[in-house]
Amino acid sequence: MRRDVFQAIADPTRRAIIALIALQAMTPNAIAENFDITRQAVSKHLRILTECELVIQKQKGREIYYSLEIEKIKEIDKWLEQFRKIWENRFDQLDNLLLTLKNKKDEK
Amino acid sequence: MRRDVFQAIADPTRRAIIALIALQAMTPNAIAENFDITRQAVSKHLRILTECELVIQKQKGREIYYSLEIEKIKEIDKWLEQFRKIWENRFDQLDNLLLTLKNKKDEK
DNA sequence: TATATTTGCAACCAATAGGTTTCTTAATTT
DNA sequence: AAATTAAGAAACCTATTGGTTGCAAATATA
C-alpha cells in the first residue's frame, strides 16, 4: 500500500485532522471528539497520515500525541510550483496588456 | 458524486494529465498516447477533471480539446495558505535563534 | 492487585474507484 | 454514399476505501 501525500489529503476528514493538529499535538481520543466517527476510524486515518509521514507520533505514558510534519506539506507546494509559473505568467501578460492600454490612452 | 479538487489530484494518472495539458490543449486520443491505459479510461479521468472544473473542453469539429483551468489549481494553493503561515513562522524563529547566537558571539 | 483508560489491530461490510470491452453518435474522408 | 475516425456512455469486474464492531496490550489509578 504505497501512500502518498496527495492520496492522504484527498479525504476531507483527513484534511480536517491535519488542520486540527497543525495548531497543537493531540491524542486520538481528543481528535475523535471533533468528528462523528469512531475513535478507531480516526486511528485508521492517523495511520495513513503516519505512513506517508504527514504526521509524527510522540508517546507520553499511555497517550500518544500526534502532530503535523509541516515539511511534508511543502511537497504539495513543490508540486504546485510548475503551475505557479503559469498563473504568474498570465498575470504578467495581463499587466502588459493594461500597461499597453494605458500608454495608448496617455498618447492621446 | 460530489467531486472536489483534492480528490481529483489524488490519482497519479490524473496529475500527469493535468501536467500534460497545462502546456497545451490536447484531445483525449493524444493524451491517451502518453499512458498505458485505454482511451476510454483517459476519458473517464477527463470527465472527473471536468466535473470539478479543473479542466475545460473546446470542441473543434469532431475533436475535443481539453485544457487546464489554472484558476482551480489555485484552490489548492489557498488551502496551503494556513500551513504556509506555520512554516514561515518556523523560519522566523530559526532566524531569531541564529541572530541571538550571533549577537552573543559578537558581544564576546 | 484489581480495575479503568488509552490505544492499535483484525475481521468484516457496503460503496467507490479505476480499469476493461462493447456499442452509439457525430464528423470527416474517400 | 460508404468507410473511417473521434469521442462519450453503459455494463461489468476487481481492488481499495472508509467505516463499523470486537478484542488484546500496555499504562495508570483505586
> Over the Cα atoms of chain A, what is R_g?
22
Q: Which amino acid appears at position A16 of this protein? A: A
What kind and span of H or E run contains B27? none
What SS3 state is found at B107? helix
What residue ranges define each of the domains in chain B, with the CATH number in brackets? Answer: 5-70 (1.10.10.10)
> Which has the minimum average pLDDT: B2-16, B58-72, B90-104?
B90-104
Closest-CA distance of chain A to residue B36, Å: 20
List chain B residues with CB under 8 Å of A73: 80, 83, 87
A6 touches chain B (CB under 8 A): yes
**pLDDT tens digits, one per residue of B25-47:** 999 999 999 999 999 999 999 99
C-alpha cell at B44: 473517464
Cell of B40: 476510454
Q: Among all residues of chain A, which has the CA nearest to that of B23?
A: A86
Measured in degrees and rounded to the nearest 5, phi and psi for residue A55 equal -140, 145
Cα separation, B15 vs A84, whole angstroms: 15
Q: What's the Cα-to-Cα distance from B49 to each of A85, B63, B99, B103, rounded to whole Å?
A: 21, 18, 48, 54
What does the pLDDT look like over A85-96, one tens digit per residue? Answer: 898 887 667 666
- Does B24 score more than 50 pLDDT? yes
Separation of B94 CA and D18 C1' (Å): 40
**pLDDT value, residue A12:** 97
A19 neighbors A55 (Cβ within 8 angstroms):
no
pLDDT at residue B93 above 60? yes
Q: Please compute the mean of the pLDDT values over residues B92-102 and round it to a whole number.
A: 68
Where does residue B56 rank: exposed (0-12), middle (13-18), buried (19+ CB within 10 A)? Answer: middle
pLDDT tens digits for A10-31?
A: 999 999 999 999 999 999 999 9
Q: B20 and chain A: CB distance < 8 Å anywhere?
A: no
Contact of B90 with chain A, judged by CB distance below 8 Å, is answered with yes
- In this prediction, residue B108 carries a pLDDT of 47
pLDDT above 90 covers a percentage of chain A that reads 75
List the B27 CA – C23 C1' distance (angstroms): 21
Which one of A3, A7, A54, A89 makes the best mutation probe of the B interface by having the most chain B beta carbons within 10 Å? A7
Which of A71-75, A80-84, B1-5 shows the lowest mean pLDDT across its residues?
Answer: B1-5
- Please report the pLDDT score of residue B90 as a whole number: 73
Q: Is pLDDT at B89 greater than 50 in this prediction?
A: yes
pLDDT-derived band of residue A108, with 50, 70 and 90 as boundaries? very low
Residue B66 CB coordination number (10 Å): 21
The dihedral over CA atoms of B78, B79, B80, B82, expressed in degrees to the nearest 10, equals 100
